[in-house]
Amino acid sequence: MDKARWDELKRAAETRPTIASLFAGDEARAEGFSARFGDMLFDYSKTQLTDETLGLLMDMARDAGVETKRDAMFAGEVINETEGRAVLHTALRAPEGMKPEKLSDAEFGEVHTTLARMSDFASAVRDGSFKGQGGKITDVINIGIGGSDLGPAMGVLALAPYHDGPRTHFVSNIDGADIAEVMAALNPETTLVIVASKTFTTIETMTNAKTALDWMAAKVAEPAAQFAALSTSDERTAAFGIDASRVFGFEDWVGGRYSMWGPIGLSMMLAVGPDAFAEFLRGGHEMDRHFADADFRENLPVLLALVGLWHNQGCGHATRAVLPYDNRLSRLPAYLQQLEMESNGKSVAMDGAALEVASGPVVWGEPGTNGQHAFYQLIHQGTRTVPCEFMVAKEGHEPELAHHHALLVANCLAQSEALMVGRSLEEATAIMAEKGLTGAELKRQARHRVFSGNRPSTTLVYPKLTPYVLGQIIALYEHRVFVEGVMLGINSYDQWGVELGKELATALSPILAGEESDAGKDGSTRMLLGYLRG
């Protein structure tokens, strides 16, 4: 990492012009600071980026080796250096004939064989030729957490209009409340349980899987026959008792939070069918080609990354809000929290040296218009600037409710406009004077109604939330994370930060059960243990 360049970026950010002045000085700003890929439009003109600062960021991207490292990733080089692995989730969506250079024919062949096995299994469940012990499968429970939950859970919700398979439920939390509620509502005789875990060791997933097995065993003669497994470990899935015919494997070069394109997407495939799932893969792959081929100024993942770095590392805005004006993307912010924060929330560079700039931002959000009636107050008038990433479809899935969609779109555009233009004290004063206020009360009330404006946002517009478009959106964000990670010089593909808490939880269990002493624990933990043990 070239610290001097980051300092240069920060200095440039200190004197950044207002968004309004940029529009005033350039009639073609919207065209110049937007990019299209197919039917998708990414507008980043409502930011304070200029040709100079964008040019600087592009130079930084080139100097950081984004192109070389991108090619290395697509080729299957070992770019996850701390775990000694390639990063090849893109191979899961690559059509036959598009084998990554370093991947063996056998491994690439296995990707397609597994996909075909998933399709056959999903079709058999969907058409009833694979049966539960009480008849056709009516419900599927996906048990998994993190990347083995968030992707398919987000995707099933996003593709609800295409959902014509069994009902799909997701259990992730170790809190028994999660699985208890799902089990209470279902008939084990017609339920398929999918245990989704890359490692097949994750405590939450294995505890929930065992509980589900007991629940199933109380009602059906062969409980494990209604279980499937998605994992990289054949030994552990076999030890659990799941027949190899219902085990769908993948390799360690697929990171958990990048895994919904392969076996981890089985619940999604069961819900929407193999054809729609294939469309999802096609969308992802087309975004891969775009990322690999397009010039930086036209390259959506690169632009999204540069805007992100500008706001966080350049301007010092430590959070970003993801605001889909698409209710079916309500789990997208949670999905992106793992994708972005588990990937780029690091303090050391790839070589182990301390990071000299801020790492990835805090990502959060909710669908519009709900967020408007909750936290947008802070976004519009709070003392912090929160860059907002709006997204909206041109067309909804409910033609009979087109008037709803028109209002949804109007709200989305109104928010980015309001953030940018704001409302001055003069305007607020005129409005309140019109209402009859005068003197000191007019001044006081007017001040509360001022919007500073000049608050940045981007807007991603797409034709309609189809499986294909969903694939494009997810791959777009994956590559954005990659570019940001490369430019920060960090490894976006490990997650050591989740380990310490796991180890301490394991050590605390016997103390909580009264089997071991709490000696050596800090005062706060001892007090909490004392309370919880009664």
CB of 499 to ligand F6P, least distance (A): 8
Could you tell me the two tokens for 259? 């895994």
Instruction: Give the integer Cα–Cα distance in Å for 90 and 386.
Output: 31
In the beta sheet, which residues pair with residue 135? 132
Which of 484, 491, 459 lies closest to 348, judged by CA? 491
Q: Which of 3, 14, 235, 373 is catalytic?
A: 373
DSSP secondary structure, 198-231, as one string: SSS--HHHHHHHHHHHHHHHTT-S-GGGGEEEEE
Q: Is residue 5 classed as helix, strand or coil in its secondary structure?
A: helix
Q: Which is nearer to ligand F6P, 414 or 504 (CB)?
A: 504
CB of 39 to ligand F6P, least distance (A): 31
Instruction: Give the integer Cα–Cα distance in Å for 273 and 278.
Output: 9
Q: Which is nearer to ligand F6P, 40 or 206 (CB)?
A: 206
Q: Which is nearer to ligand F6P, 142 or 459 (CB)?
A: 142
- Are the beta carbons of 323 and 391 closer than 8 angstroms? yes
- Are the beta carbons of 155 and 260 closer than 8 angstroms? yes
Q: Which is nearer to ligand F6P, 360 or 367 (CB)?
A: 360
Q: Which is nearer to ligand F6P, 203 or 217 (CB)?
A: 203
CB of 346 to ligand F6P, least distance (A): 14
Which of 232, 255, 295 lies closest to 73, judged by CA? 255
Q: Which of 204, 340, 342, 389 is catalytic?
A: 342
CB of 197 to ligand F6P, least distance (A): 3
Q: Which is nearer to ligand F6P, 36 or 502 (CB)?
A: 502
Give the CA radius of gyration of the chain: 25
Q: Which helix (H) or strand (E) holds 150?
A: helix 150-158
φ, ψ of residue 170 to 5 degrees: the values are: -125, 125
CB of 486 to ligand F6P, least distance (A): 20
CB of 306 to ligand F6P, least distance (A): 26
CB of 44 to ligand F6P, least distance (A): 30
DSSP E strand stretches across 122-178: 131-132, 135-136, 139-143, 167-171
**101 exposure class (CB count in 10 Å sphere: 0-12, 13-18, 19+):** exposed
Q: Which is nearer to ligand F6P, 174 or 529 (CB)?
A: 174
- Site for ligand F6P, rule CB under 6 A: 145-148, 197-199, 202, 205, 256-257, 342, 495, 498
Task: Provide the 10 A C-beta neighbour count for residue 504.
Answer: 11
Q: Is 131 an annotated catalytic residue? A: no
Q: Which is nearer to ligand F6P, 209 or 461 (CB)?
A: 209
- Are the beta carbons of 412 and 392 closer than 8 angstroms? yes
φ, ψ of residue 28 to 5 degrees: the values are: -100, 20
Instruction: Give the integer Cα–Cα distance in Å for 279 and 283.
Output: 6
Instruction: Give the integer Cα–Cα distance in Å for 305 and 301.
Output: 6
Q: Is 136 an annotated catalytic residue? A: no
CB of 239 to ligand F6P, least distance (A): 15
Q: Is 479 an annotated catalytic residue? A: no
Q: Which of 394, 404, 502, 516 is catalytic?
A: 502
Instruction: Give the integer Cα–Cα distance in Å for 480 and 477.
Output: 5
List active site positions. Answer: 342, 373, 502
